[in-house]
Structure 1
């Protein structure tokens, strides 16, 4: 039976930071979209601010 040799691959810190920023910014944008849709739905239902 063949075995697979595991090698530890270290990624560079800027790649990790890039992925972190990409995922964070994606979550912030998606939260803003959901909040805007909720605000639009509330406005359409007649819930307006003074």
Structure 2
């Protein structure tokens, strides 16, 4: 890349306006809604972990491994 091309690719000060126009979607949402999504995602991850643990336990029991 030549010097001229690198100068052409430098950020122009007016390009910052594009970033300033981007709005954080969470800022417009009420707190209860954001906390609700947090709880839904957390509950889903805990349930997924429970399912995986029960499947592992089931396969281990089927293979003759017991915890006593």
Which of the pair has the greater relative contact order for Cα pairs under 8 Å at 6+ separation? Answer: 1
CA RMSD, Structure 1 to Structure 2 (Å): 1.6
Please list every run of 5 or more consecutive structure 2 residues that lacks an aligned counterpart in the other structure. 1-20
Q: Which has the higher helix share?
A: 2
Q: How many residues align?
A: 46
Give the TM-score normalised by the residue count of structure 1. Answer: 0.81
Give the TM-score normalised by the residue count of structure 2. Answer: 0.61
Q: List structure 1 segments (4+ residues) > 3 angstroms apart after TM superposition.
A: 6-9
Please list every run of 5 or more consecutive structure 1 residues that lacks an aligned counterpart in the other structure. 1-5
